[in-house]
Amino acid sequence: MISLFLGAAVTLVLVEASLSLAYRAFAAWQLRANEAALGKSSGDEVRILCVGESTTAVAGDESGSMLVPRTSYPAQLETILNTRQSAVRFRVLNNGMMGGTSGSTLDLLRMTLPSARPQIIIAMMGIKDTPNEWVPVSAMLPSGMNSLRTVQLASWLLEGVRLRSNANVTEIKSYADLPPSAQEKVVQLGNYLRELRMADDHEAIDRAQAAIYLMRIGRLRQAEDIMREVIAQRSVGYCLLAEILVSEGRYDDAYAMLADAIAQHPEEGMYAVELADIHVRQKEFDQAQQVIDQVAARAESQAASDPTASPQGAMLEPDLTQQFIQLEQVELMLARGQYDEALAVIDQIVPVVRIRYHDVVPPVRLLIEAAEGRAYIGKRDWDAAEKSLLEALAISPGRHSNMWLLSQVYRETGQTDKEEAIRWKLLESQGRVAEYFELAKLFRLSGQPERVPEVLAMAVEHTPSLKQNYAALYQLAEQYGSRLVVMQYPSFDLDSLHLYAPEQPGVEFIDNLHVFDADPEGYFFEPTFPNSFSHYTHEGARVLADHVADRVLEIYAPGAGAAPRD
């Protein structure tokens, strides 16, 4: 037994030593290959892979009304880097994920690295994590064991099997092909589908989930291909395809496709609602009103009669459709600043519950309460706005947009103590890191900066995935020989970042604390109070990309002949 024990111990030591030497040699070879690419002559490509959540994936469009990938900071970073120097050709890949967490971000990164082979990885992630977020297998082991190369190899093999049990990102066609972390997340189908004709088409919904995932990670053409195939085969999915086209800035294509859908399927009133909604978001108010009037007249006429009297071409669920037409009219009025008129329409809406449609349309009661809250904010009736938004928050505590609206009410009325109480309550039920960051911001704004370090330390303590998934990110970058750059979200400092992303040789950091100081309201997509934790406007993403470019060129292209900026 002693001989067997000693033999096994010696074998493990030899295996560990061999793996460690092999790993060092492989990592060094990878690093040399990537560093060589950074030093090549003009015309050669240097690939940068940006990873993170929706703050990486999208930014405000040119009109300031929508979030789209084409204005994101990675998209603008590529243009800036190639404009400011000519020694190398930079290609920036956007691996941001709408609604992503550090676990799903790492899943996507693992699937992307073998084909992307980036020389540089820029990471800004973790804001959506919760206490139960997925962490790598090795992170669950006792301290010290996860640094052994034998343990790392075993965990990589296990994670490889975990990923390969699903298709690669380029092969996703249905829900079953999604990576495990994406399958575990609840996809709010109703916010994307908005189509009654899909209610009983489970195959179409299954494939739509894959398209939504691809849309959320910026693979818009792949998402479009899936939905065009669904439409060709099953004649449903028009509203989701319209959202995909709009994300690409192809508004005319979306309008034409929805007009064709309305002509082919006049019974589906939600196609007109979707068309009107896009017009509202694009501030094309007259066109939106025309569409609303047309579909409202038909729905009212049918709702007043027996819907079974003329089944040929009869509108599906006219009373349910009517609610969404009225809500779209409210959205148009709110966009025009017609708050009293919007409240009058809201008073007319009688919510109709149809359980079978809960997957394909958003919850009506939630939309009513949120719209009412926005109308009262417009009228500066803070008590009424608070009441409506608290109702909306009770219906859906995880809906960040409604908490953001409620924050406006409390900050306008100086009731930051109420906001603090609600955010602590949200932490009990939701536990998102974003809520800790929002509390930290609130403490700064309310003159209590001394409380910021404590609340951010609590975020790290209660969210193990922050430290563990950043450690996994460090290992992945080393494994693929990529230079790693880590940065904190704008308006937060590196000290808070280092609580879960510690300084380490070979890892560079970008300080974003003051990046938005010039216009702390205008650079955020929802610029109603200073340093709103939200997405960035088109200009905000440009400012961030410019700041990141400074550091990238300083670190990776010294003496590259950077041109002076405007």
Dihedral of CA atoms 450, 455, 461, 463 in degrees, nearest 10, equals -150
- Residue 78 and residue 93: Cα distance in Å, rounded? 9
The answer to whether 419 and 411 have CB atoms below 8 angstroms apart is yes
Mean pLDDT of 27-31: 46
The gap from C-alpha 185 to its chain's centroid, in whole angstroms, comes to 13
Least-confidence region, from 95-109, 157-171, 210-224, 303-317: 157-171
Confidence at 166, pLDDT banded by 50, 70, 90: very low
DSSP letter string, 282-315: TT-HHHHHHHHHHHHHHHHHHHHS-TTS--TTPP
pLDDT greater at residue 197 or residue 43: 197
Are 349 and 326 within 8 A, CB to CB?
yes
164 band by pLDDT with thresholds 50, 70 and 90: very low
Structure tokens that stand for 70 in this block: 């084409």
Where residue 314 falls among pLDDT bands split at 50, 70, 90? confident
Tokens of 253: 């294509």
pLDDT at 202: 93
Task: Check: CB of residue 547 under 8 Å from CB of residue 512.
Answer: yes
Select from 320, 398, 394 the least CA-distant residue to 357: 320
**C-alpha separations of 103 from 50, 84, 87, 136 in Å:** 15, 34, 36, 8
The 10 Å Cβ neighbour count of residue 360 is 26
Q: DSSP alpha helices (H): ranges in 337-432?
A: 339-348, 364-379, 382-395, 400-412, 416-429
* Other CB atoms within 10 Å distance of the CB of residue 350: 10
Which domains, ranges and CATH numbers included, belong to the chain? Answer: 2-129+132-174+463-556 (3.40.50.1110)
If we measure between CA atoms, which residue out of 540, 358, 513, 433 comes closest to residue 101? 433
The answer to whether 220 touches 242, Cβ cutoff 8 Å, is no
| Percent of the residues in the chain that have a pLDDT greater than 90, as a whole number | 55
Q: How confident is the model at residue 525 (pLDDT cuts 50, 70, 90)?
A: confident
Q: For residues 357 and 205, is the Cβ–Cβ distance under 8 A?
A: no
Q: Are 152 and 138 in contact (CB under 8 A)?
A: yes
Confidence (pLDDT) at 142: 57
Q: What local confidence, expressed as pLDDT, does residue 23 receive? A: 46
Buried b (16+ CB within 10 A) or exposed e, 237-266: bbbbbbbbbbbbbbbebbbebbeebbeebe
More confident call, 182 vs 261: 261
Cα dihedral 429, 433, 439, 442 in deg (nearest 10): -130
- The residue length of the chain stands at 566
Residue 170, pLDDT above cutoff 90: no
**The pLDDT of residue 534:** 76
Confidence of residue 134 (pLDDT cuts 50, 70, 90): low
Mean pLDDT to the nearest integer, 353-365: 89
Task: Kindly state the tokens that stand for 537.
Answer: 């406007």
* Residue 353 pLDDT class (50, 70, 90 cuts): confident
Measured CA to CA, the distance from residue 351 to residue 334 in angstroms comes to 20
Residue 474 has pLDDT above 90, yes or no: yes
Q: What are the tokens at 41?
A: 């002559």
Least confident of 206-210, 227-231, 544-548, 555-559: 555-559
**Who contacts 19 (Cβ-Cβ below 8 Å, separation ≥6)?**
149, 150, 153
Please report the DSSP string for 491-553 in residue order: T--HHHHTTTS---TTEEEE--TTTTTT-TTTTBSSTTSTT-SS-B-HHHHHHHHHHHHHHHH
Question: How far lies 108's CA from each of 104, 152, 411, 433, in Å?
Answer: 6, 19, 38, 20
- 541-545 mean pLDDT: 96
Coarse DSSP helix, strand, coil percentages of the chain, rounded to the nearest 5 percent? 60, 5, 30
CB 214 within 8 A of CB 170: no
User: What is the share, in percent, of the chain residues with pLDDT greater than 70?
Assistant: 81
Say which residue, 68 or 227, is predicted with more confidence: 227
Task: Report pLDDT for 81.
Answer: 95
Least confident of 204-218, 311-325, 510-524: 311-325
pLDDT at 175: 78
Range list of β-strands (E), 214-289: none
**pLDDT interval class at 161 (50, 70, 90):** very low
Average pLDDT over residues 66-93: 92
The more confidently predicted of residues 531 and 430 is: 430
Amino acid at the residue 149 = R
pLDDT at 535 over 90: no
pLDDT of 178: 76
Q: How many CB atoms lie within 10 A of CB 114?
A: 9
Q: Quick one: tokens of 479?
A: 């494994």
pLDDT grade for 200, boundaries at 50, 70 and 90: very high
Q: How far apart are CA 523 and CA 412, in angstroms?
A: 20
| Angle between helical axes of 364-379 and 382-395 (0-180°, round to 10) | 160
Count of CA atoms in the C-beta half-sphere (13 A) of 380: 2
What pairing do the DSSP bridges indicate for beta strands 59-60 and 67-68? antiparallel
With tokens 């067997």, the residue in question is 4
Q: What Rg do the C-alpha atoms of the chain give, in angstroms?
A: 26
The two three-digit tokens of residue 475, written as one number: 């290992």
* Average pLDDT taken over every residue of the chain: 84
pLDDT over 80 (residue 482): yes
Within 10 angstroms of residue 491's Cβ, the number of other Cβ atoms is 22
Model pTM above 0.95 = no
Amino acid 144: pLDDT: 55
Average pLDDT score over residue span 121-142: 78
471: tokens are 């450690």
Contact yes or no for 82/90 (Cβ under 8 A): yes
